[in-house]
Amino acid sequence: MSSENKYQDAIFVGEESPYELKHFVIPDHYTDDVDKLLIPHGVVIDRIEKLAREITRNYSDRLVVCCVLKGGHQFFADLVSCMKKLPNREGKSLPIDHDFIRVKSYENTASTGNVQISMTEEELCNLEGRDVLIVEDIIDTGRTMEALVALLKKYKLRSVKVASLFVKRTPLSNGFYPDYVGFSIPDTFVIGYCLDYNDVFRDLDHVCSISSVGIKKYMSKNK
Ligand code: HPA
Ligand code: MG
């Protein structure tokens, strides 16, 4: 697929934001830490409603929706809450099981390249024969998802699909592209709607780029 085509299912978010920070509520404790407001919270929610409709009508049997923690938890909660009210392929309600995994590869704003996946052998074996939808907040280099999908494919799942709320347009991408994607975003570090920088900013609702002040203030002490 050409790179132009690749993003046509997603809302394209440009480098220049049409929004001004002064028109939105940013918590006082973060006023100096955000640079631009890229996507207002309401738009995120509206987009999730549409993704929920597309996803739900592609399934007919009981689905395992697997949340990638921690960043994916808000997307997971809002997505599943919509999916529960929507018709499946046969026009009926879709039974949904919940699963959670912890994946970590980031410190400060760079991928460490060392992807750690928290799933026991027993948990993986329990997925055999199941339809699984992985719910992730953001695909950046694609290495985390590539590693996770490769691992799951060894366990004879009936199907494995990935929904990511954001995909970053970065030259560091390994080409991994999710089955469902909300927004294509510019190559900048984003925070808000549960996306963190060293575990900070998950309590910011709007999706924003981080300022140099924010980067410095919450820099990890381990580096
Ligand atoms: N923000 C937060 N988490 C991330 C990002 C980002 O831009 N890229 C990959 N993980
Ligand atoms: Mg993530």
Q: What is the CATH number of the domain that holds 89?
A: 3.40.50.2020
Pairwise pLDDT comparison (109 vs 182), residue with the higher score: 182
Is residue 100 one of the residues assigned to a domain?
yes
Question: Residue 142 C-alpha to ligand 1 middle, in angstroms?
Answer: 11
Q: In what order do the strands lie in the sheet with 110-118?
A: 11-12, 180-185, 159-168, 131-139, 63-69, 96-107, 110-118
Is residue 127 one of the residues assigned to a domain?
yes
Q: In which domain, by residue range, is 172 found?
A: 41-107+116-189
Is residue 140 one of the residues assigned to a domain?
yes
Residue pLDDT, tens place only, 8-48: 889 999 999 999 999 999 999 999 999 999 999 999 999 99
Instruction: Considering the candidates 33, 99, 131, 140, report the single residue annotated as catalytic.
Output: 140
Is residue 214 one of the residues assigned to a domain?
no
Distances (CA, A) of 126 to 15, 56, 72: 43, 22, 22
Kindly tell me the sign of the dihedral angle through the C-alpha atoms of 42, 76, 163, 65.
negative
Distances (CA, A) of 209 to 43, 56, 90, 166, 216: 16, 31, 41, 13, 14
Question: Residue 198 C-alpha to ligand 1 middle, in angstroms?
Answer: 10
Instruction: Please give the Cα distance from 128 to 159 (Å, whole number).
Output: 10
How many residues are there in the chain? 223
Binned at pLDDT 50, 70 and 90, residue 113 comes out as low
Atom 9 (ligand 1): residue with closest C-alpha? Answer: 140
Binned at pLDDT 50, 70 and 90, residue 1 comes out as very low
Question: Residue 108 C-alpha to ligand 2 middle, in angstroms?
Answer: 13
Q: How many domains does the chain have?
A: 1
Atom index in ligand 1 nearest the CA of residue 139 equals: 9
Residues with CB under 6 A from ligand 1: 71, 106, 138, 140, 189-190, 195-196
Residue with tokens 């919509």: 82
140 is catalytic: yes
